């Protein structure tokens, strides 16, 4: 087994992973809750880009419902962002499971 070859392959994989990590910020996912009353856009690094609230979701007498809808939309977006990030990293590593670091 050629150790130099293995080192070159490891360096290539490291570079591919770094490029994939950089592109996570360019990834974008959308999620919603309450039948579209709350919409969230998030990038692959789990940073919320935008929250959109339908005026029907804003009821001063039911603040808790709006809070629940926002949390649900953010959680849904986070799940989608994780799936998209994992897919991106799997492509970069050829399916080799590597931990994500943001």
Query: DSSP string spanning 6-29?
Result: HHHHHHHHHHHHHHHHHHTTT-EE
Q: Sorting pLDDT into bands at 50, 70 and 90, what band is 83? A: very high
Mean pLDDT of 2-21: 83
Return the H-helix or E-strand segment holding 38: strand 38-43
Q: Taking all residues of the chain, what is their mean pLDDT, rounded to a whole number?
A: 88
Decide if pLDDT at 40 tops 70: yes
Q: Sorting pLDDT into bands at 50, 70 and 90, what band is 100? A: low
Decide if pLDDT at 51 tops 70: yes
């Amino acid at each position: 087994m050629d150790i130099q070859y293995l080192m070159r392959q490891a360096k290539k994989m490291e570079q591919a992973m770094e490029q994939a990590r950089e592109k996570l910020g360019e990834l974008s996912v959308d999620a919603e809750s309450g039948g579209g009353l709350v919409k969230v856009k998030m990038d692959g690094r789990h940073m919320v880009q935008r929250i959109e609230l339908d005026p029907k979701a804003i009821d001063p007498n039911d603040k808790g419902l709006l809070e629940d809808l926002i949390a649900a939309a953010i959680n849904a977006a986070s799940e989608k962002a994780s799936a998209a990030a994992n897919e991106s990293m799997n492509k970069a590593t050829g399916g080799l499971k590597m931990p994500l670091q943001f």
